[in-house]
Every structure is written in C-alpha cells, then in structure tokens.
Amino acid sequence: MQCPKCGSVSTQRLEMAYLAGTSDVSARSHTVDVGSIGGALGVGGAITKTTGVSQSALAQRAAPPQRKSIKWPVVLIVVSLFGLGEPKAIVGVVIWVTIGAYWLSRIVKYNSMEWSQLHQVWLRSWMCQRCGEVYQVP
C-alpha cells in the first residue's frame, strides 16, 4: 500500500498496528513478613495478582471502535424494580424503568448497526508509518 498523503510504502493495517502493540499482562507475587509487637512474634503473608492490558501509544491510536456496554442501563432497570413493593413508588419505578429501557434500546441499536459499520471501516483502514495518515482501502 502507498500512503495517499506522502507516497510512502511504509504502511500497516490498523488491525496489525493494534495487535502488535497490545499485550495481556498477568503477574503474581508472594509476600511473607515476620514482626513483633509487645514481645509477641507474628508471621503474615499475602498473595497478589495483577491482570490487565498493556498498550503502546500507536496501538491506542489504532484501536478498533468499541461496543457500548449494556451494564448501566440494566443496573438502572433492576434497581428500579426493587421499588415495586412500595405502592407510592410505582410512578417513579415506571419512569426509571422506561428511561433504562430506552437507554438500553439505544445501546443495542448502536452495537448492532453503527458499531458494525465502524468496525468494517476500521478493518479496511491503513496507517502510514512515516506521516501517520490513516486512510481506507476499498
């Protein structure tokens, strides 16, 4: 591929730039300590585990579009439903469940329609390693 901006042939698909600069991190450590307080001896220990993702700045720039999470609208709906036991709260429950359902429907619509189109564009996108131009190939 040749960059349409600077003409360089040093180009890379966004997907490859993202994958090359992204790695999973998993670390585990063990700690043991001995101490004394007021003449009493004690031993303690701990195990810690760290997990996550490490990304280069290039991988962050080349990241694919993200789907939207349905977690918060579902939490809103479920928490609102706890008010059904209170006769005085029924109007509030209906309002909050309606808001949550609308929010959820917007997210589902985005994830099923808009996100898939954005993802297809991302799959066809290339980045110039000389000038940084991002462009699509049909």
> Domain limits of the chain?
11-136
Q: What is the mean pLDDT of each run of 10 residues along the chain (138 residues)?
A: 94 96 93 85 90 94 96 95 87 94 98 95 96 93
pLDDT score for 41: 85
Strand partners, 43: 34
pTM: 0.70
How confident is the model at residue 5, as a pLDDT?
A: 95
State the pLDDT at residue 87: 82
